[in-house]
Amino acid sequence: MSEGSPTSKMRCLIDGPYLVPLLRLALGGILITSAVGKLAFPITGPAKAEIVDIYAGLFIWLPYKVVKAYMLALPWLELLLGASLLLGLFLRASSLLCLPIILSFIGANAALFRGALGAHKECPACFGTLYVLSYQLALMIDIIMLGMAILILISRSRALRLDSWLGTLAKGR
């Protein structure tokens, strides 16, 4: 890889001090907003069962109880991962754990987009009842989130990371 090659320029951008902190702020903010929306403004009644059925239809190889447990744990996972991204703690693990979650969002919204899981015009569970998004917009946001998580995962940037700061303090002892 030569110094002026497009690959080296891209690596400098990804590893620079600005991009990854902004991506962490955006992705962490989306995840926390989604978690708060699901926890503070939950979907209840028949609509909640329908959402579990949508995911159960998407993941037909998984037992229904596993899908239901995933749906119950999802807001707490989003909150934990979002906080980790914002603080800069365990970034590789956090961004890696975001990937299957975001892929499940993409799968559900793509299935809704195709009309394979009923005649929905909006993402029924993206942000609880706090924000209602069209499934097209939700799918676009999910794809952007996937890109952000991948860039955070492959970055070597140590800028504005709490774990980097804590490591420096520990070495100074």
The model's pLDDT over 100-129, given as tens digits with 9 standing for 90+, comes to 999 999 988 888 777 755 556 778 788 888
What confidence tens digit (pLDDT) does each residue in 40-53 have? 988 887 878 878 88
Residues 121 and 115: their CA atoms lie apart, in Å, by 9
For the record, the structure tokens of 80 come out as 């934990």
Q: Which residues contact 22 (CB under 8 A, 6 or more apart)?
A: none
Residue 172 has a CB neighbour count (10 Å cut-off) of: 6
Q: How far, in Å, CA of 146 to CA of 169, rounded?
A: 32
pLDDT in tens, 16-30: 778 999 999 999 999
Domain ranges across the chain: 19-156
pLDDT tens per residue across span 130-170: 888 888 899 999 999 999 999 999 998 888 788 877 777 77
CA distance 163 to 89: 5
Pick from 23, 46, 49: nearest CA to 144:
23
Q: Is residue 140 within 8 Å of 126, Cβ to Cβ?
A: no
